[in-house]
Amino acid sequence: MSGWTIGIIGGSGLYDVEGIEGGQWVEVSSPWGIPSDECFVGHVGHVKLVFLPRHGRGHRISPSDLNVRANIDVLKRLGVTDVLAVSSVGGLTEERAPGTFTIADQFIDRTKGRPSSFFGEGMVAHVSMADPVCPRLSALVRDAAIAAGAEVHDGGTYLAMEGPQFSTRAESHLYRSWGCHIIGMTAMPEAKLAREAELPYALVGMVTDYDCWREGEEAVDVATVIAQLGANADKARKMVMHLLRNLPEERPASPIDTCLDYALITAPHARDPHLLAKLDAVAGRALNK
């Protein structure tokens, strides 16, 4: 593989960055349904950028209603090689204070009822999620965040809750007892589906609040989150541009690029042609070997 095409999933303000050349909105259809929005496609030097507003422009889609399969599928159809997720999160430890960034390296999935796989009856696959992020991409993002002036925590466990309501105090204390560092509503099944699509994935959690575990701290509300979002967004834009401008021209191969080679289990004669057709983008490389 030669060049980079970085897919960025995040808030609407991240594409509005000075320095992106040839930017335009592109509509891509998916057999998995309607994605959150069109994709903003451009380039920064030798790096192609594909940006997808996770909740749609104007933040109109709830975390529980996101069509994550369609979102990952359209990124794959646009040639994305690596995915950076930028997410607002709550801090579950004292040092993960509002305004800090966490480069997540583990997840606990507490979501309910969200389609979490491209595979199923007629084409079964089991990918490994032991190490759910790409360490190479995560290191590059960490360095970019530091260069952008953010206080960065390298590593941390992200608790993915269903939402859209915020946690109860009992839940917040429970998640802290599990060793979780940050909490949000969107990383799952996003990270799982990116792995099934053979896309190296990294996540930056931008802390907006302390959830509701902290003694003497007001419970989190939307006003608190929005107030911190503006301060975080400027650093996030700088982080993205620093990452794109400093990637090497040649993209080194990642083991995640071929992870389906060890995941497909259904015998060729038993595979469902209808499901195989839907998998053309996310799994076509492995299925057509």
Catalytic positions are: 209, 211
Residue found by looking up tokens 């209808």 in the block: 274
Which ranges of the chain would DSSP assign to H, the alpha helix? 68-77, 135-147, 169-177, 187-196, 222-246, 273-278, 284-287
Q: Report how far residue 217's alpha carbon sits from residue 210's, in angstroms, rounded to the nearest whole number.
A: 8
Phi, psi of 56 (to 5 degrees): 80, 155
Q: Report how far residue 104's alpha carbon sits from residue 182's, in angstroms, rounded to the nearest whole number.
A: 8
Q: Report how far residue 284's alpha carbon sits from residue 289's, in angstroms, rounded to the nearest whole number.
A: 8
Q: What is the DSSP letter of 19?
A: T
Phi, psi of 244 (to 5 degrees): -65, -35
Q: Which residues pair with 120 in a beta bridge?
A: 123
Residue found by looking up tokens 């709830």 in the block: 62
Residues 6+ apart with CB under 8 A from 234: none
Q: Report how far residue 125's alpha carbon sits from residue 131's, in angstroms, rounded to the nearest whole number.
A: 17
Q: Report how far residue 282's alpha carbon sits from residue 279's, in angstroms, rounded to the nearest whole number.
A: 5
Greatest CA span in the chain, whole angstroms? 62
Phi, psi of 245 (to 5 degrees): -75, -15
Per the CB < 8 A criterion, the answer to whether 166 and 220 are in contact is yes
